[in-house]
Amino acid sequence: MPTEQDIRETCELLEAQKPPGVRVMPLFARLAAAEQNRVFARLAQRKIIVATNVAETSITIPGIKYVIDSGLARISRYSPRTRTTSLPVLPVSRSSADQRQGRCGRVENGVCLRLFAEDDFQSRPQYTAPEILRANLAEVILRMISLKLGDIAEFPFIDRPDLKSIKDGFNLLFELGAIAKRQRAEDRGRKTNDGVVLTEKGRIMARIPLDPRLSRMLIEAKKEGCIPEIAVIAAALSIQDPRERPAEKTREADRMHAVFDDPGSDFITLLNIWHRYHDQRQKVKSNNQMKRFCREHFISFKRIREWKDVYSQIVALLAEHNLWNSQKRKAKAGPGDGLFGDRVSDEKYAAVHKSVLSGFLSNIARQKEKNFYRAAKGREVMIFPGSGLFDKTKTWIVAAEVVETSRVFARTVANINSDWLEDLGRNLCRYTYLNPHWEKNRGEVVALEQVSLFGLIIVPERKVSYGRVDPAEASDIFIQSALINGDVKKPFAFMRHNQMLIDGIKDIENRFRRRDILISEPELFGFYKERLPGVYDIRTLQKFLKKKKNDRFLRMKREDLLLYDPDEASISQFPDRLKLAGHPFNCAYAFEPGRNNDGVTVKIPAALASSVPPEAVDWMVPGLYPQKVEGLIKGLPKTYRKQLVPVKDTVELICREMPKTGSSLKSALGSFIYQRLGVDIPAAAWSDETLPDHLRMRIAITDPDGKELRVGRNPAILHRTDAGGAVYDEFEALRKKWERDDLTAWDFGDLPDHIIEAGKIRAQWIAYPALEKDPKMNNRVNLRLFQQADKARTAHLEGVLTLYTLHFAKDLKFLKRQLVLPPAQSSLADYFGGAGKFQKRLYRNYIQRLFSRDIRSQTEFYAYAEETKPQILGSGRKQLTSTLPLLKAYHETRSQINRLQAGNRINAKIKALFEDLIGALVRLVPENFVELYEQDRYVHLERYIRALMIRAQRALLDFEKDQAKATEVNKHGDGLNNLLQTLTSSASDEKRQAIEDYFWMLEEYKVSVFAQELKTAIPVSAKRLKEKLGQIERMI
């Protein structure tokens, strides 16, 4: 039968069907010696022996009369490509079949039954392929080189090996360090073969009659200081496994063998068996007791003896070559000499396995999953199930043998540290360098070194200096990254000089929004490349500069960096500072289309942001002003745009003639184009949406350290504040330090416009102290800090007012009694909430106008108090007197319209008209008119009121004429309503004032239409109103 498994299965089948008086017996090489001896014993029963080809030659079994030949055998084959010894089941040769037939004709005639056809037999080769064609040739080649037998490929072998096998043998010897390629001409006279020479290790290996792998292990063991251990392991690898595993006692055998198992290494397991055996030998002296020990532990006594013999021979060889003596051991040191302890230390484990690796380096493997590994040369192997490491392996292993049977198995394996591999196989390692790049902290170009051995990556990524690997490429990377990009920890003086020039030119490019002034990076690169040969890091640059004694040769001149030099007039169109609201602010320029910082950034300190009107930033810088005007015109609807063609000429005209005012750019454009070109463009037609970002000013609100607090292109950012949690907490702490409550007099010193305090989150805080009326108690004032100047001012005016009311409490109490309508005229306030309510509003308005002052010092506060005190009563009575004519006119008009309305209830049109007039009267003079209007407006209001009364009277006489006039007036009123409905929070102050002016113009127009006899305060007409409306519509 071909395999041990086949034998066991066949025996089981025969046992189940055997007749009485028959005994079935197996025979194979791994069978225990006692069981093998039974095969040769004479028995009364008939024997059926199921054997492998071990029974084919050299042995005679008495009584064999019949041979049944399967025609198959497991034949060892070595694959040079994969370095794997395979044991495939193959048909045997004709000579082997004849040998098997001869087993039954030794002592008497017999019969041979072949389980294959005669044609199959005749087609088989005459002889089994010689072992030299099926084995690793490394040992043969080593001997031939040592014996100077000439070129292996030309040697007259009886059976010439394949060239692949010869090449593999040479490769293995190279890997083991036994041979090397010839380096010098004088080496040709030494021991060479096919262009190789024996190394010192090779000469020693050639003198040791062992497999080159084993002899290499012993040489490495000398270096590692573990020759005794490796001698034992080498002897064990030279014989068959001493452990036995009878089929009927597998569990018991496994249990006894487990005593010797090492969880990390089958090699240490072999040492443990050796150690345990010789410890036992020290205790007992007879062979019988040792045989019993071996039987109990399922160890072959015969193989142990063979192991000891091989070990003794190895020790003798080592002593002969002065390897054993170097360990300070006796030359005749033998088994049981106490060389091994109970436990192998970590240092000894490393030494032993480094030695093993030196011989079996190509048998390393890396774990893929549990017991499966990716081995060298692309093989996939599995840990042999009989190994002590099965299910216990780690990432890396080494195997003494890779055998292919049912699959590729790694046998006699050990866990190893991958860090050992590079030192042992440095000449065989392949080094790959990935991602070479500059590292500022190291001051050199580094790459990720990847080390592979036999196709396995043993070092995945290791940073190494790239300058020694590829100086030319490292120099290019160094120049680009360190010198041109400036990525160094401490720039050299020449770098600072050159970068200052480059930054200046780049800034000009950013302003002009062009990239054709500075020379290209390849030209900068060439400048340094030409002057710095062989320089690839900071160290070599310092050395080079020291040799040159100065760095002048690396300092550029401005003309070296310029493709052309722009004139000063053009550069001045892009100023470094832009004046807004009377304050100069720094500007930064960037030419990065699509990026947030593209265009001009004006940096405005937070303390001054609220003082900058949004329309001021519309005008951009002079250099971009024409482009913005052109962009705005091109963004107009076609109806207006086609009236301004050619656009280029229109832009030139605007830039040449239009004055730059404090109003919005769009308002100014609308007004100028209307006046100069006669094209009426409403403000709503202008749009920023079509403008590229660089034509919209980027506003950066900064803290005192220059750090940007908020950034945007919407001018509303100027009047917005925001603070996060931690910032808010710090400001609250600052408020607690400064603020005071329950103030009733100015006894707290002077108040600055703003304060600057150091902070932790912000380097500095700017805050605005102000007095604030206590929201709960009208007779108290609090000192508060604000983050916005405008809010602080509003609160402060009210706070100062409250403080004055406390100061003049007695005077104001008397004033209240004076600000009372005469009893006969109290009814005049009926339409304003009654006399009491009107008097309260009058009093409030009066003291607000008198005391609402932005006073900051104690001295100024009391000086103004002294100045004002004599005027309090007189001015108050004067204000009351100035309102009486207005109240009287309102009361009379309202009463007259009510009477007229009551007398014409049946006329729906007249009734509706009077209701509209009452509505207009209420809108014109609401209940709180004293708070809305200045005193000088009262005289005009009185006239407008009387105009309403005259209209009411005349409408009764000629209603149709009144409606015709109303239609004309309403056209302009609709324009006003439209302005008010479309007014946004972002509208300019200029536009708001213009709308108010238009409102009063409209009132004057009503006077001119309905009551010409009252006359108007200003010239007014339908044409003037239309022009004013168009002007407002052109405003932003």
Query: What pLDDT score was predicted for residue 731?
Result: 64
DSSP 8-class letter at 557: -
* CA atoms of 178 and 168, how far apart (whole Å): 14
**Residue that wins the pLDDT comparison between 334 and 158:** 158
What SS3 state is found at 323? coil
In sequence order, what E strands does 692-773 have? 698-702, 708-712, 740-743, 755-758, 764-773
* CA atoms of 530 and 556, how far apart (whole Å): 13
Cβ–Cβ < 8 Å for 649, 972: no
Cβ–Cβ < 8 Å for 604, 585: yes
What SS3 state is found at 288? helix
* CA atoms of 84 and 78, how far apart (whole Å): 6
What SS3 state is found at 210? coil
Residue 763 has pLDDT above 50, yes or no: no
Please list the residues that pair with 402 across neighbouring strands. 410
* CA atoms of 787 and 722, how far apart (whole Å): 10
* CA atoms of 468 and 838, how far apart (whole Å): 95
Q: Are strands 66-69 and 111-114 parallel, antiparallel or unpaired?
A: parallel
Q: Is the peptide bond before 646 cis (omega within 30 degrees of 0)?
A: yes
The first and second tokens of residue 329, run together, are 């051991």
The first and second tokens of residue 622, run together, are 């002079």
Average pLDDT over residues 1018-1028: 92
Listed residue (156, 154, 136, 149) closest to 85, CA to CA: 136
- Per-residue pLDDT reduced to its tens digit, 887-940: 999 999 999 988 888 888 888 888 889 999 999 999 999 988 888 888 888 899
Cβ–Cβ < 8 Å for 694, 593: yes
pTM > 0.85: yes or no:
no
Query: What pLDDT score was predicted for residue 58?
Result: 64
**Residue that wins the pLDDT comparison between 762 and 977:** 977
Quick one: how far is CA 33 from the chain centroid?
68
Task: Name the band, by pLDDT with cuts 50, 70 and 90, for residue 183.
Answer: low
Which range has highest mean pLDDT (329-343, 535-549, 711-725)?
Answer: 535-549
The first and second tokens of residue 22, run together, are 């028959």
* pLDDT > 70 fraction of the chain, expressed in percent and rounded: 94
User: If you average pLDDT over every residue of the chain, what do you get?
Assistant: 86
Query: What pLDDT score was predicted for residue 341?
Result: 43
Instruction: Count Cα neighbours of 1016 within 13 Å in the Cβ-side half-sphere.
Output: 16
The first and second tokens of residue 44, run together, are 């009364």
Query: What pLDDT score was predicted for residue 337?
Result: 40
DSSP string over 418-464: THHHHHHTGGG-EEEEEEEEEETTTTEEEEEEEEEETTEEEEEEEEE
Q: Are strands 179-181 and 196-198 parallel, antiparallel or unpaired?
A: antiparallel
Query: What pLDDT score was predicted for residue 890?
Result: 92
DSSP 8-class letter at 66: E
Query: What pLDDT score was predicted for residue 768?
Result: 85
DSSP 8-class letter at 482: I
Residue 90 has pLDDT above 50, yes or no: yes
Task: Name the band, by pLDDT with cuts 50, 70 and 90, for residue 716.
Answer: confident
What SS3 state is found at 382? strand
Query: What pLDDT score was predicted for residue 866?
Result: 92
The first and second tokens of residue 573, run together, are 């169109």
Cβ–Cβ < 8 Å for 362, 376: yes
Domain residue extents for the chain: 4-129, 135-207, 208-359, 360-425, 429-571, 573-719, 725-807
Quick one: how far is CA 445 from the chain centroid?
22
- Per-residue pLDDT reduced to its tens digit, 349-382: 999 999 999 999 989 999 998 889 999 878 899 9
Query: What pLDDT score was predicted for residue 599?
Result: 94
Residue 723 has pLDDT above 70, yes or no: no
DSSP string over 292-314: HHHHHTTB-HHHHHHHHHHHHHH
Listed residue (349, 417, 413, 355) closest to 386, CA to CA: 413
3-state per-residue secondary structure call for 853-897: CCCCCHHHHHHHHHHHHHHHHHHHHHHHHHHHHHHHHHHHHHHHH
Give me the phi and psi of 187, to 5 degrees please: -70, -15
**Residue that wins the pLDDT comparison between 109 and 929:** 929
Alpha helices in 643-711 (DSSP H): 647-657, 665-677
Task: Name the band, by pLDDT with cuts 50, 70 and 90, for residue 528.
Answer: very high
- Per-residue pLDDT reduced to its tens digit, 855-886: 999 999 999 999 999 888 888 888 888 899 99
- Per-residue pLDDT reduced to its tens digit, 264-323: 899 999 999 999 999 888 888 788 888 889 988 889 888 898 899 889 888 988 888 888
Q: Would you identify the CATH topology of the domain 4-129? A: Rossmann fold (3.40.50)
Listed residue (281, 287, 294, 304) closest to 253, CA to CA: 294
- CA geometry: angle 835, 836, 842, nearest 5 deg: 85
Quick one: how far is CA 762 from the chain centroid?
28
Cβ–Cβ < 8 Å for 411, 399: yes
- Per-residue pLDDT reduced to its tens digit, 425-460: 898 899 999 999 999 999 999 999 999 999 899 999
Query: What pLDDT score was predicted for residue 333?
Result: 36
Q: Which of 36-40, 67-71, 256-260, 618-622 has the lowest mean pLDDT?
A: 36-40
Reply yes or no on domain 135-207 having CATH 1.10.287: no
